[in-house]
Amino acid sequence: MTYGYAGSILRIDLTDESVSRTPTSEYARDLLGGRAINAKLMFEESEAGVSAFDPGNPVIIGAGLLVGSGVMGAVRHEITTRSPEQVPEGFGNVGSGGTFGPEMKYAGYDHIVIKGKAKKPTYIHIENDEISFKDASALWGNGTFETNRLIREELGDPEVAILAIGQAGERLVRVATIEHEYRSGTALGAVWGSKNLKAVVVRGTKGIKVHDAQRILELNQQMIRGIEKKLKGYIEWCKANGRDCLPYPKYALGMDALDEYLVQQEKAFTGYFKGIEWADLEKTRAIPYLKKRMVRQTGCCPLSCIGLMKVPGVGTSVMRCDPFWWPWQLYLTDLDKSFEATRLCSDYGMDNQDLVTPISWLMQLYEDGIITADDTDGVPMEWGNGDALIHVIHSVANRKGFGDALADGVLTLAEKLGPEAKALLIHRRGIVPNCDEFRNQAGVVLGTSVDTTCGRENWYGDVVWDKHLKETGRESDLEEAYAHARKTYGTEKAVIPWEYEGKVRGVMEAEYFERISDIFGRCFFVPKYAGHTGPIELDACKAVTGIDFTEDQLNAFAEKALTLEKAYNVREGFARNDEEVGEFWFKEPIPDGPHKGKVLDRAKFEKMKDEYYKLRGWDTETSWPERETYERLGLKDVASSLQKLGRLPKTKKQT
Amino acid sequence: MRNEIMGQYFVTVPVLCQQCEIPMCKEVCPTEAVYQDSETGASLVDEERCIGCRMCVISCPLGAIEVDPVKHTAFKCDLCGGDPECVKICLAEALTYVDKDKVGFTGRREALKKLSDRLALVAGLPTEAVQNRGGEVK
- According to the model, what pLDDT value does residue A471 have? 66
What would the DSSP string read from start to end of chain B?
Answer: -EEE-TTS-EEE--------SS-HHHHH-TT--EEE-TTT--EEE-TTT-----HHHHH-TT--EEE-TTT-SEEE--GGGGS-HHHHH-TT-------GGGHHHHHHHHHHHHHHHHHHHHHTPPPHHHHHHTPPP-
A259 and A187 in a single domain? The answer is no
CB pairs under 8 A between A and B: 72
CA closest to A128 among chain B residues: B69
Interface contact B135-A182, CB threshold 8 A: no
Please measure the distance between the N-terminal and C-terminal CA atoms of chain A and give it in whole angstroms. Answer: 45
A147 and A19 in a single domain? The answer is yes
Does residue A144 belong to the interface with chain B, where contact is any CB pair within 8 Å?
Answer: yes
End position of a domain, from candidates A424, A454, A473:
A424
Mean of the pLDDT values across residues A538-563?
A: 92
Rg of the Cα trace of chain B? Answer: 20
Does residue A233 belong to the interface with chain B, where contact is any CB pair within 8 Å?
Answer: no
**8 A C-beta contact, residue A354 and residue A189:** no
CA closest to B2 among chain A residues: A159
Mutation site, A210, A316, A347, interface B, largest B CB count within 10 A? A316
Kindly report the nearest CA distance between residue A297 and chain B, in angstroms: 10
A166 and A40 in a single domain? The answer is yes
Model confidence over A392-421: pLDDT tens digits? 999 999 999 999 999 999 999 999 999 999
Question: Is the pLDDT reported for residue B137 higher than 80?
Answer: no
**8 A C-beta contact, residue A537 and residue A520:** yes
Question: For chain A, what is the domain count?
Answer: 3
Interface contact B90-A181, CB threshold 8 A: no
A149 and A252 in a single domain? The answer is no
Mutation site, A3, A127, A142, A148, interface B, largest B CB count within 10 A? A148
Of B7, B12, B88, nearest to A221 by CB-CB distance is: B88
Mean of the pLDDT values across residues A257-263?
A: 63
DSSP A323: G
Model confidence over B79-110: pLDDT tens digits? 988 889 888 888 777 888 888 777 788 788 88
Which residues of B are less than 8 Å from A235 in CB distance? 132-134
Question: Is the pLDDT reported for residue A1 higher than 60?
Answer: no
* CA max distance for chain A: 70
Mean of the pLDDT values across residues A579-604?
A: 88
Tell how strand A109-115 and strand A8-13 pair up. parallel
Chain B residues within 8 Å of chain A (Cβ atoms): 2-10, 12, 68-70, 85, 88-92, 129, 132-136
What is this model's ipTM?
0.71
Question: Is the pLDDT reported for residue A350 higher than 90?
Answer: yes
- According to the model, what pLDDT value does residue A596 have? 86
Per-residue CA distances from A99 to A79, B63, B129 (Å): 14, 21, 33
Nearest residue to A303 via CA among A522, A69, A543: A522
Please measure the distance between the N-terminal and C-terminal CA atoms of chain B and give it in whole angstroms. Answer: 37
Interface contact B6-A145, CB threshold 8 A: yes
Mutation site, A75, A150, A296, interface B, largest B CB count within 10 A? A296
A396 and A510 in a single domain? The answer is no
Tell whether A650 is covered by a domain.
no
Nearest residue to A565 via CA among A124, A31, A43, A137: A43
- According to the model, what pLDDT value does residue B88 have? 85
Mutation site, B5, B6, B57, interface A, largest A CB count within 10 A? B6
Lowest mean pLDDT among A170-179, A367-376, A446-455: A446-455
For residue A137, the enclosing domain spans 8-203
Question: pLDDT: is A3 or B11 the higher one?
Answer: A3
Lowest mean pLDDT among A110-124, A161-175, A585-599, B118-132: B118-132
Q: State whether residue A649 is helix, strand or coil.
A: coil
How does residue A655 score in pLDDT terms, banded at 50, 70 and 90? very low
Model confidence over A481-503: pLDDT tens digits? 888 888 888 888 888 888 898 88
How does residue A386 score in pLDDT terms, banded at 50, 70 and 90? very high
- According to the model, what pLDDT value does residue B30 have? 95
Lowest mean pLDDT among A343-352, A381-390, A437-446, A552-561: A437-446
Does residue A228 belong to the interface with chain B, where contact is any CB pair within 8 Å?
Answer: yes
A331 and A270 in a single domain? The answer is yes
CA closest to A342 among chain B residues: B7
Interface contact A244-B133, CB threshold 8 A: yes
Q: How far apart are CA A548 and CA A535, in angstroms?
A: 11
A339 and A368 in a single domain? The answer is yes
In this structure, how many other beta carbons lie within 10 angstroms of the beta carbon of residue A19?
Answer: 16
Model confidence over A72-95: pLDDT tens digits? 889 999 999 999 999 999 999 999
Q: How far apart are CA A592 and CA A274, in angstroms?
A: 9
Lowest mean pLDDT among A316-325, A609-618, B38-47: A316-325
pTM of the model: 0.90
Interface contact A224-B91, CB threshold 8 A: yes
Percentage, residues of chain B above pLDDT 70: 83
Tell whether A231 is covered by a domain.
no
Does residue A604 belong to the interface with chain B, where contact is any CB pair within 8 Å?
Answer: no
A384 and A473 in a single domain? The answer is no
How does residue A632 score in pLDDT terms, banded at 50, 70 and 90? very high
A375 and A501 in a single domain? The answer is no
CA closest to A312 among chain B residues: B8
Domain boundaries, chain B: 14-96, 98-133
Kindly report the nearest CA distance between residue A32 and chain B, in angstroms: 23
Q: How far apart are CA A272 and CA A433, in angstroms?
A: 11
- According to the model, what pLDDT value does residue A158 have? 84
Tell whether A36 is covered by a domain.
yes
Model confidence over A422-468: pLDDT tens digits? 999 999 899 998 877 788 888 888 999 999 998 876 666 667 776 66
Interface contact A145-B7, CB threshold 8 A: yes
Q: A125: domain CATH number?
A: 3.60.9.10
Q: A519: domain CATH number?
A: 1.10.599.10
**8 A C-beta contact, residue A278 and residue A271:** yes
Which residues are paired to A115 by β-bridges?
A13
In this structure, how many other beta carbons lie within 10 angstroms of the beta carbon of residue A614?
Answer: 12
Mean of the pLDDT values across residues A15-33?
A: 94
Lowest mean pLDDT among A265-274, A418-427, A497-506, A542-551: A265-274
Ramachandran assignment for A370, one of left (phi > 0), alpha (psi -120 to 50 degrees), beta (any other) = alpha
Q: How far apart are CA A410 and CA A429, in angstroms?
A: 10
Phi, psi of A203, rounded to the nearest 5 degrees: -145, 130
Domain B14-96 classification at class level = alpha beta
Nearest residue to A131 via CA among A14, A269, A287: A14
Does residue A149 belong to the interface with chain B, where contact is any CB pair within 8 Å?
Answer: yes
How does residue B115 score in pLDDT terms, banded at 50, 70 and 90? confident
Kindly report the nearest CA distance between residue A245 and chain B, in angstroms: 7
How does residue A374 score in pLDDT terms, banded at 50, 70 and 90? very high
CA closest to A225 among chain B residues: B89
Which residues of A are less than 8 Å from B73 in CB distance? none
Of B10, B68, B89, nearest to A221 by CB-CB distance is: B89
In this structure, how many other beta carbons lie within 10 angstroms of the beta carbon of residue B9?
Answer: 12
What would the DSSP string read from start to end of A155-178?
Answer: HT-TT-EEEE--HHHHTT-TTB--
A414 and A460 in a single domain? The answer is no
For residue A258, what are the contacts with CB-CB under 8 A and spacing of at least 6? A286, A321, A324
Tell how strand A197-203 and strand A122-127 pair up. parallel
Kindly report the nearest CA distance between residue B27 and chain A, in angstroms: 26
Q: How far apart are CA A175 and CA A177, in angstroms?
A: 6
CA closest to B6 among chain A residues: A145
Interface contact B7-A247, CB threshold 8 A: no
Positions of E strands within A128-275: 130-135, 161-164, 197-203
A364 and A401 in a single domain? The answer is yes
Which residues of B are less than 8 Å from A146 in CB distance? 7
Question: Is the pLDDT reported for residue B138 higher than 60?
Answer: no
**8 A C-beta contact, residue A460 and residue A444:** yes
DSSP A387: H
Interface contact B9-A343, CB threshold 8 A: no
Percentage, residues of chain A above pLDDT 70: 92
Percentage, residues of chain A above pLDDT 90: 61
Question: Is the pLDDT reported for residue A613 higher than 80?
Answer: yes
How does residue A654 score in pLDDT terms, banded at 50, 70 and 90? very low
Q: How far apart are CA A197 and CA A131, in angstroms?
A: 14
Question: Is the pLDDT reported for residue A360 higher than 70?
Answer: yes
Mutation site, A69, A149, A229, interface B, largest B CB count within 10 A? A149
How does residue A105 score in pLDDT terms, banded at 50, 70 and 90? very high
Tell whether A210 is covered by a domain.
no
Interface contact A221-B69, CB threshold 8 A: no
Tell whether A162 is covered by a domain.
yes
Q: State whether residue A199 is helix, strand or coil.
A: strand
Which residues of B are less than 8 Å from A72 in CB distance? 89
Interface contact A221-B5, CB threshold 8 A: no
Tell which A residues from 333 to 352 touch B, by Cβ distance under 8 Å: 343, 346-347
